[in-house]
Structure 1
Amino acid sequence: MTLGMVGLGKMGANMTRRLLQDDHDVVGFDLNEDAVAAITDEGAAGAPTLEALVDRLDAPRVCWIMVPAGDPVDQTIDTLLPLLEAGDILVDGGNSNYKDTLRRAERVHDADLHYVDVGTSGGVWGLEQGYSMMVGGSDEAVDVLRPALETLAPGPNKGWGHMGAVGSGHFVKMVHNGIEYGVMQAYAEGFDILQAKDDFDLDLHQVAETWRFGSVIRSWLLDLTARALEDGDALDDIAPWVDDSGEGRWTVKEAIDLDVPAPVITDALISRLNSRVEDSYTHKLLAAMRNQFGGHDVKESND
């Protein structure tokens, strides 16, 4: 199988690199010609247009879309659908709202194609450690994708799973990100309390390193928090502005629709919104954590 990777931003490019390490054939396309040149230098085939990308793929064609959620996904599908044939597979590996995924899947199925949604977690570390992937779609389509999924995951039988029908992958990823909001908020608030206790002059990096091993609250997010705190002055230049990319909002809305109380996730979302009008250590550390795991931009402090 030759896989077409549509979108070579941070995640798409690193996923392409991981596939190449295991000798998969990949054709890449991006509106940024420099991004295409970068992955062709590393062994992938490049395509100047989506038409050229499709022409290079063997049936059943697999086009893996890694573009920003929203209109870019719809626009990419608009271009690809007339170029594909019955039995081909479209994969959305971005952070799409599962309701959009259900809508798109209906349209793709009407064209006698398969639609697979892959909620992908791993951020900038996925190239080295593998990606956690929550997959939704038909058994037939997922079986075709299995060799690529096994390579992209931390291991062939770990870190990825077929969640169920189309839409389920993005639904599970949405809730995953909602949980992430709550865990990050708890760490940030805890470290804010620690740094506020002037009497002890605590070394927050040492605290994080101590908790990383043997503690019941150890986690990868704590590992990344320790990295963010390694330089004692690392947060000084970070503005206490914490962005949100949408999944937390969607999770809270879904919880309300399902009559499921989710006070921790909801409060974590509200805290991110408050960060845009407040100045606190909690929000500085939240911004630093997002930068550590996802390479998300931080705002520089004006102080």
Structure 2
Amino acid sequence: MSAQIGVTGLAVMGANLARNLARNGYTVALHNRSIEKTDALLEEHGDEGDFVRTETLQELVDSLEKPRRILIMVKAGAPVDSVIEQLTPLLDPGDIVIDGGNSHFEHTRRREATLAGQDLHFVGVGVSGGEEGALLGPSIMPGGSRESYDWVGPMLEKISAKYHGEPCCRWIGTDGAGHFVKMVHNGIEYADMQVIGEAFDLLRSGAGIEPQDQARIFSDWNAGTLSSYLIEITAEVLGHTDDRTGKPFVDVVVDSAGQKGTGRWTVVSALELGSPTSGIAESVFARALSSQQDQRVLAQESLAGHEATVELPENFVEDVRLALYASKLVSYAQGIDMLTAAAAEYGWELKLDEIASLWRAGCIIRAELLDDIMKAYAGKDRPANLLLAPAFTEAIAGAVPAWRRVVSIAVQLGIPVPVFSASLAYYDGLRRERLPAALTQGLRDLFGAHTYNRVDTEGTFHTMWGADRSEVEGVDTH
């Protein structure tokens, strides 16, 4: 039997993607370093479609129709390079190697350039939706050459999630564009989960609302403008009771959140691009702080809080909802700003409306507001920032008073809300007529002769701070 695609790496994600392909009518060649996983998949799910069992990479390659399409589903980093090194001598010009893991986009750019020099295609594919999405239909973000997408695109579109019949899979752009967009998706995901956590903490620690009651609140919120997958499953988690203790599930879970690196990559890349993703950054730092358990224990014993007694407004729950919505919008705005900066830096023609369309189903950050984000970037008058799109300008303006009240109350109660407050600061930073960066520039000029610009005339200037403080024009010592 000649297979149309091969999958190497049959852990849960790889196995589920292989099953998804087979369920959609493709003959799939299977390979894993340990043959036991291959046989386990065939024993449990071999009746779901046509599979070809292989024991070596050579057998995998020999089982495929040309041009060969091979999906690598191994741990990101060195394992991907190892598989590529073993595969490439076995391939023919025009064959296509696909990396469906969470690889760093710079690694994807390097691999694509290397394989292109060997007349091979390399496609870095961002896949979102977790184990269930991989099986039932994920959001798929492929990069690589347009030619390679012509060969793999129809297959990926068929197995992707569908939103009103439209596949959540489009060609993103060349080399590492697909993995970059997936990385930004994950950064938004980090911020989204953190603001949900901050809302939960405010309702619990501030208003004394227990998890079971919050489950109903989040369920109600999911029927409105906050409608999204993460809000939906928040209600499910908060409503769950631990069988062993009878306590709310969230009370028996250690309050230390891990991470696999994609959020951190987003922040590092944003810094390199000069894109202010402060909300996303604070969500990453919040996880890091939660993991510093030893320091937190010492701080609980030693650091004073001096929390105030605050009378909560009657509509506090609604205030939290509005603050959550506004902060959520900011995380999308920051992610999209980062995509815009990356497109200019790496020469990608990223279509922001199409990218938003891919996130409407299958992925973790799927939400109703993505329809409005699509509309904002679909026309000719695309906003310089998502918050400047008329629909969102109006929505966030209505939320600002509540947003300010919530952040103020949180500060007085000693409840940390790093993303709520950072997102509000980002909003204010955008809208203020003057920022203190003017003083920063003056300081830089005094201690380092870094020069500055004036508001009343063109040119670059330096003040002779150590002499007569006269101003000279055109000095650039750096």
Mark yes or no: TM-score above 0.5.
yes
* Structure 2 counterpart of 1:74: 81
1:207 and 2:217 equivalent? yes
* Deviation sequence 1:131-170 (CA, Å, 0-9, x none): 1011111122111112321222113732111011111001
* Structure 2 counterpart of 1:244: 259
Q: Is the 8 A contact 1:131 1:154 kept in 2?
A: yes
RMSD: 1.8
* Structure 2 counterpart of 1:300: none
Secondary structure (helix, strand or coil) at the match of 1:144 reads: helix
The residue correspondences of 1:1-303 to structure 2 (distance < 5 A) are 2-41=4-43, 42-43=45-46, 44-127=51-134, 129-155=136-162, 157-197=166-206, 199-201=208-210, 203-213=213-223, 215-232=224-241, 233-278=248-293
Comparing 68-77 with 9-18, greater Cα deviation is found at: 9-18
Instruction: Return closer, same or farther for 1:201/1:154 CA change in 2, 3 Å cut-off.
Output: closer
Secondary structure (helix, strand or coil) at the match of 1:72 reads: helix
Unaligned runs of 5+ in 1: 281-292, 294-303
Cα offset for 1:199?
4.6
Q: Is the 8 A contact 1:86 1:112 kept in 2?
A: yes
Q: Which of 1 and 2 has higher RCO (CA within 8 Å, sep 6+)? A: 1
Q: Which amino acid aligns with 1:70?
A: G
- Partner Cα separation in structure 2 for residue 200 and residue 65 of structure 1: 46
Q: TM-score, normalised by structure 1?
A: 0.87
Unaligned runs of 5+ in 2: 242-247, 298-363, 365-478
Cα offset for 1:220?
0.5
Comparing 69-78 with 153-162, greater Cα deviation is found at: 153-162
Secondary structure (helix, strand or coil) at the match of 1:235 reads: helix
Cα offset for 1:65?
0.6
Cα offset for 1:221?
1.0
Number of matched pairs: 280
Q: Is the 8 A contact 1:39 1:46 kept in 2?
A: no
Q: Is the 8 A contact 1:118 1:169 kept in 2?
A: yes
Q: TM-score, normalised by structure 2?
A: 0.56
* Deviation sequence 1:73-131 (CA, Å, 0-9, x none): 00000100111010000001111001011111111111110011111101022145411
- Partner Cα separation in structure 2 for residue 254 and residue 239 of structure 1: 30
Q: Is the 8 A contact 2:158 2:167 kept in 1?
A: no
Q: Is the 8 A contact 1:153 1:159 kept in 2?
A: yes
Cα offset for 1:243?
1.3
Q: Which amino acid aligns with 1:158?
A: P
Q: Which amino acid aligns with 1:204?
A: Q
Q: Which amino acid aligns with 2:71?
A: W
* Structure 2 counterpart of 1:285: none
Q: Which amino acid aligns with 1:77?
A: I
Q: Is the 8 A contact 1:18 1:151 kept in 2?
A: no
Q: Is the 8 A contact 2:19 2:135 kept in 1?
A: no
What is the percent sequence identity of the aligned residues?
A: 38
**TM superposition outliers: structure 1 runs of 4+ over 6 Å:** none
Comparing 64-73 with 201-210, greater Cα deviation is found at: 201-210
Cα offset for 1:255?
1.1
Secondary structure (helix, strand or coil) at the match of 1:45 reads: strand
Q: Is the 8 A contact 1:19 1:152 kept in 2?
A: yes
Q: Is the 8 A contact 1:65 1:93 kept in 2?
A: yes
Secondary structure (helix, strand or coil) at the match of 1:165 reads: coil
Q: Is the 8 A contact 1:16 1:39 kept in 2?
A: no
Q: Which amino acid aligns with 1:150?
A: E
- Partner Cα separation in structure 2 for residue 102 and residue 196 of structure 1: 46
Comparing 46-55 with 177-186, greater Cα deviation is found at: 46-55
